[in-house]
Structure 1
């Protein structure tokens, strides 16, 4: 295995809650109105220090999407997913964008979010964008 090169971000940074590897800048958030089965999720324009998993078709609240899970390169934890393709025209704005699940990352102020009992089950997508 080769040497691991991590990208260091300056500013308000979201990072992996397990190993603190930088993942995204708060300035790159497109929407905080997304949800996963574990709670809040944020849509980002750009995410760094992740690897993509296998592409998979998933039925979400807003329809069928082709997505790939994204993994932290520091510790290998799943931190969210990438929208590879949207099957509905109205959802194509998500293509190439990333979701970070809020409970899997530390916020810019170091805060952690935990799964609560009032989270939704059965989908992962925005209620209103």
Structure 2
């Protein structure tokens, strides 16, 4: 596998809940109004220490998108997805941005988020796959 290099962030960070690898900064949050099958999720302009999986078309609540799952580089857990292409003009702002699922990350205060009963309640986007 080779040597693993990870980026250590400074400030208020979100990290992988399984291995505590840094993933994103609070200041890089674009939106907190996303939803997935485990509950809430956050859209980030920049994430680090992830690998990007295969691109695939997925039907989301906001339309058809080309997305790729993103994985923690340290432990391999799926932590969210990256928007590669949005077919709707109104959704183009998502391209190149990543979503981290709250259920799979630790917040800046060190708290883990848990799946909630409103996991399937509508929101800005939902992982239908």
Please indicate the TM-score interval, normalised by the length of the shorter structure.
over 0.9
Report the Cα distance in structure 2 between the residues aligned to 1:97 and 1:61, rounded to whole angstroms: 17
What is the TM-score of this pair, normalised by structure 1?
A: 0.93
Q: Check conservation: 2:14, 2:26, Cα contact below 8 A.
A: yes
The change in CA–CA distance for 1:71 and 1:83 in structure 2 (over 3 A counts) is same
Q: 1:102 to 1:68 in 2, by over 3 A?
A: same
Residue in 2 aligned with 1:98?
Answer: 98
CA RMSD of aligned residues (A): 1.6
Kept in 1: contact 2:17–2:112 (CA 8 A): yes
Counterpart position of 1:14: 14
Matched positions, count: 126
Give the structure-2-normalised TM-score. Answer: 0.93
Query: Could you list the runs of 5+ residues in structure 1 that have no partner in the other structure?
Result: none
Per-residue deviation at 1:121? 6.6
Q: CA deviation at 1:118?
A: 2.2
Alignment correspondent of 2:23: 23
Structure 1 distance, partners of 2:72, 2:29, is: 18
Structure 1 runs (4+) deviating above 4 angstroms are: 121-124
Query: 2-side partners of 1:59 and 1:122: how far apart?
Result: 14
